[in-house]
Amino acid sequence: MTLSRRQVLAISGGAIAFPGLPAVPAFASLAEDAISEFTAGATVGAGELTLTAPEIAENGNSVPIEFDAPGAVAVAIFADGNPTPQVGGFTFGPLSGSRFASTRIRLATTQNVIAIAQMEDGSFQRAEANVKVTIGGCGG
């Protein structure tokens, strides 16, 4: 088998680039570390916190999400497949009428979006949704 110079360059370029690619489980670990930092190591339970995100996002650059967190003083949003896992943070004061927000976030790939709410009593609640990010908006 004879390889052309172009094929050799393509193979060697791929071999050089491949070890530099981070593994997705490493990003998930980063997300858990960031969540642990936000909660200061406290246990996180379930509660009234709800997170709404699309099941399929055709454009990972602009994924709409919203949460409702009755009784929360702070909410942090994490994406466990992004290189920087914390993608949003919200703080609510005592005069906040509702503890609801909607925004758009950027997702690198298909991954879990996690909302952690710090409640008025100091406890933490968790809600998450899996969002499938399609490539090129073609559903693939």
Span 43-70, pLDDT tens digits:
999 899 999 999 999 888 999 999 999 9
Contact call for residues 123 and 45 (beta carbons, < 8 A): yes
In sequence order, what are the residues at sequence separation of 6 or more whose Cβ sits closer than 8 angstroms to the Cβ of residue 59? 137
Contact call for residues 86 and 76 (beta carbons, < 8 A): yes
| CB atoms near residue 10 (< 10 Å) | 12
Q: Output the pLDDT for position 131.
A: 95
Which stretches of the chain score pLDDT less than 70? 1, 3, 7-10, 12-28, 135-140
What is the spatial distance between Cα 140 and Cα 136, in angstroms, rounded to a whole number?
A: 8
| CB atoms near residue 4 (< 10 Å) | 8
**Nearest of 66, 45, 42, 44 to residue 54 by alpha carbon:** 66
Residue 23 CB-density burial (10 A; 0-12 exposed, 13-18 middle, 19+ buried) = exposed
- Positive or negative torsion for Cα 62, 126, 69, 73: negative
pTM over the 0.85 mark:
no
- Positive or negative torsion for Cα 129, 135, 139, 140: negative
